Structure 1
Amino acid sequence: MNKKILKQALLFENETPVYSNVKELCEVAVVYQDENNLYFLQAKRGQKAFIKNESEFFRFLSYTQDIHVESFVDITNILNATTRSENIKFSGDSKTNIVKIFDAVVVVKKKGEIAKLYQSCDLGELEAIEHFLAIENGETFLNIEQFAENFSEVYFVYLAGYANTLTREFLKTKEVNFFLDFDIEGMNIYESFECKSKHFHMPWHVENFFSDKRYNNVELYKKQRARLKSEYSQELNQLKELIQKYNTVVEQEIVYEEIIAKENVK
């Protein structure tokens, strides 16, 4: 993590800084954009720099600085952290960044096999596959075999949050079941996808985890609640009501890990 680059990123929060004031950040961003065929930052010497796509900008920072940020508030929290524990708290969530992907690959795993990386030229191999389970988090994706019996899909695709451009384009022609965190960001991620058909996976017993404080993530809820939209697709109404009823959120892997843990005790 380069604090100088993060400080330069903060300059974009309330102004359009000149290139010389964000030079180091721009140099890293230009390379990242070229390598991944992206355009989220307009930056030329002697001119002001502009963010063209904030979500891609924060994804770029997360990847290149080995942190997890989704807003300028997140960057401020990281820079203001005074202890190692605070840095862990603000620079990432409870999960390990197991797989980092650019817009050059789609990460797919077939049940019973290891995950594979598909570049654009390789996606023809998956053309005949219509149904996919889309998984938000890396840890859950790599351990999906433990939960696979709860899903009818045989092919799993890793999203890494909002997913890269190639993955989003690939899923436009597919029928996709989304296994996401049961939180505000999960709903927003779901709404952002265009697919041939899509479904948000909601286990029948999910309210048990909202009502049990052992499984709540109140801090994450507080961090996300400003991004709660007034309207969502009808199928998300149940989740929205649970979030508002209990003022908390639940992470995706918990709902099935608990079942597995109980079965192992028997």
Structure 2
Amino acid sequence: MTTLTAEHPAATPSSRQSHVLADAVTMLRRNLLHIVRYPGLTIFVIGGPVVFLLLFVFVLGGTLGAGLPGVDPAAGREAYLAYVMPGILAVTIAGTGGGAATTVSMDMTEGITARFRTMAISRAAVLAGHVLGNTLQAILAVVIVLGVGLLVGFRPSAGPGEWLAAFGIVALISFAVSWISVALGMNAKSVETASNLPTLLVLLPFLGSGFVPTGSMPQWMQWFAEYQPFTPVVETLRGLLLGTPLGWSPALAIGWSVVITVVGYAWSLAIYERKSIR
């Protein structure tokens, strides 16, 4: 008797979808176990942003906060903590990309992915397991880093609706970063290269409005700073948590997240398919 699977040509659309979901849950469980067994990556993902938070607020915050528009110099540090917190959250999300790229690259180089390709497992589900696991890790990291921010004096004014919307933005950009990081990890020739490539994502919040207003940057840099993917994410989180004007930031944040997700998904699947026929 033949068992219908997600890859079986005789499977109906509904049965194919159910198998893909079941395979994705199995792969997600595998990646969550990997995160539990190797907590060093999670600790690093959380530790880096916490260090940045403490450094920028308690060492540089007084000076940087006093330079913010309309801020009383005497309250510079408190004002800067409120300003920089969304940027720190963006760095946290971007920093999780290294873990996704590393784990998928390890699977590729150690032959685990090749073994999956010989089994009746949905190819999209294999990749989705990495993506969903990393997305959950990113959300957990954001919650912990936000908790540290609250401990050192961050006081958002958001209501339940704004918190829910902020959570949605965090989940969406985390999902997008996970897909592009998986693609980078699959395309890398070694685990070392894979772990370094997503580091470029961490630079984007620094080159946007995460740490200083874009208006304070040189004219030639301002256009990039204002329209790169993480600036609308930061401005959306800042508006939702602190009540600053949102403008077009939510639409741009969602748009960038969708574009990055589609590119990461298509690129990852193309690499998977190409290596499957070798």
TM-score by structure 1 length?
A: 0.24
Higher strand share: 1
Looking at both structures, which has the greater relative contact order when contacts are Cα pairs under 8 Å and sequence separation is at least 6?
Answer: 2
Higher helix share: 2
TM-score by structure 2 length?
A: 0.23
